[in-house]
């Protein structure tokens, strides 16, 4: 069996400066792992979902891009808020059913301190180790190497275009010596459904973090956080946290402090 891993990026929550640990300077990359024998089925299902929307609304979105869906941008602004939220519920149900493994790598200024200069050696595939987003991608790829290399399985990495055009190669240095066939390339999310699922997971993770820093949460905020919690994201990079829905930023930060102290991460 071989693996496909789709990777998307997301940014730190903006507009909230009260947290000591979670800041807008954070950069995160999210990878979602799929077994090769399920890939064609997933692509067919996502294409079918877009066709369903066209047939039932008369609107024709090119892809599921969840920032646009949530904020009702473009074609999604011509649909009702309730319809857009049902799209989120549908994808949450899909994820809860399959629970594909998710790898997450976040970098902020503390990461550079924790690495103590090792980041300068992580110069692969044209990535700049001094750039938080590039470093997050490099470290995510190292996670992938460590976790899956011993499986000796063929690997395909799909990275959302932006850094380079769709079709351009990626990962020849980061995955040099992979024990089975390796393919890494940039792809358009409009053409690659696996990237749309990575976009969904990245949005859910980022939005949940953003909402954790709000002083007052609306009913919609609480609904979203409960939806994401119900997905039970399958990731070793997420630490479960059970709190009252009205928890404060100070309580959120205390959890971060204790987690860092327990794991002996510099503060």
Residue with tokens 């994808």: 91
Does the pTM exceed 0.85? Answer: yes
The tokens describing 3, both together, are 């693996």
CA 212-7-51 angle, to 5 degrees, is: 90
Give the C-alpha distances (Å, rounded to integers) separating 214 from 9, 164, 217, 256: 22, 35, 6, 16
The rounded percent of the chain whose pLDDT value lies above 70 is 83
The CA distance from 107 to 118, in Å, is 14
Task: Provide the pairing of β-strand 182-187 with 155-160.
Answer: parallel
Q: Write the DSSP assignment of 37-75 as a string of letters.
A: HHHHHHHHHHHHHHHHHHHHHS---SS--HHHHHHT-GG
Model pLDDT for residues 2-46, shown as the tens digit of each residue: 899 999 998 765 655 676 666 667 899 999 999 999 999 999 999
The larger pLDDT score, comparing residue 228 to residue 109, is at 228
CB 70 within 8 A of CB 88: yes
d(CA 184, CA 4): 10
Q: What angle (nearest 5°) sits at the alpha carbon of residue 198, between those of residues 206 and 173?
A: 105
Widest distance between CA atoms in the chain = 55
Q: For residues 181-189, give the mean pLDDT.
A: 96
pLDDT at residue number 51: 95
* Higher per-residue pLDDT: 215 or 15: 215
Q: Which of 236, 222, 215 is nearest to 17 (CA)?
A: 215
Stated length of the chain: 267
d(CA 107, CA 221): 25
Cβ count near 144 (within 10 Å):
23
CATH of domain 3-262: 3.30.420
Q: For the chain, report the end-to-end CA distance as a whole number of angstroms.
A: 42
Using DSSP's 3-state secondary structure scheme, residue 230 falls into helix
d(CA 35, CA 194): 11
Q: Name the residue ranges covered by the structural domains of the chain.
A: 3-262
The DSSP bridge partners found for residue 187 are 160
The residues with which 107 forms a beta bridge, in sequence order, are 27
**Residue 226 reports pLDDT greater than 90:** yes
User: How confident is the model over 134-167, as pLDDT tens digits?
Assistant: 999 999 999 999 999 998 999 999 999 988 899 9
Task: For the beta carbon of residue 89, count every other beta carbon within 10 angstroms.
Answer: 12
Measure the CA–CA gap between 154 and 148, rounded to whole angstroms. Answer: 10
């Amino acid at each position: 069996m071989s693996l496909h891993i789709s990777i998307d990026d997301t940014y730190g929550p903006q507009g909230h400066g009260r947290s000591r640990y979670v800041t807008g300077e954070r950069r995160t990359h999210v990878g979602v792992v799929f077994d090769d024998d399920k890939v064609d089925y997933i692509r067919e299902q996502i294409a079918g979902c877009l066709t369903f929307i066209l047939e039932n609304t008369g609107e024709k979105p090119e892809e599921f891009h969840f920032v646009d869906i949530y904020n009702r941008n473009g074609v999604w602004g011509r649909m009702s808020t309730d319809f857009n939220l049902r799209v989120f519920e549908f994808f949450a149900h899909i994820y809860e059913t399959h629970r594909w493994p998710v790898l997450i790598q976040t970098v902020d200024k503390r990461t550079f301190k924790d690495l103590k200069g090792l980041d300068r050696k992580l110069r692969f595939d044209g990535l700049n180790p001094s750039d938080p987003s590039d470093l997050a991608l490099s470290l995510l790829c190292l996670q992938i190497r460590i976790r899956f290399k011993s499986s000796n399985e063929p690997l395909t990495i799909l990275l959302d275009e932006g850094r380079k055009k769709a079709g351009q190669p990626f990962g020849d240095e980061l995955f040099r010596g992979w024990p089975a066939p390796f393919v890494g390339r940039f792809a358009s999310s409009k053409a690659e459904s696996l990237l749309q699922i990575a976009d969904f997971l990245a949005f859910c993770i980022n939005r949940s973090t953003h909402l954790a820093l709000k002083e007052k949460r609306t009913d919609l905020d609480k609904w979203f956080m409960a939806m994401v919690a119900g997905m039970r994201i399958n990731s070793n990079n997420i630490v479960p946290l059970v709190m009252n829905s009205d928890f404060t930023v100070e309580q959120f930060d205390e959890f971060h402090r204790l987690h860092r102290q327990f794991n002996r991460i510099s503060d």
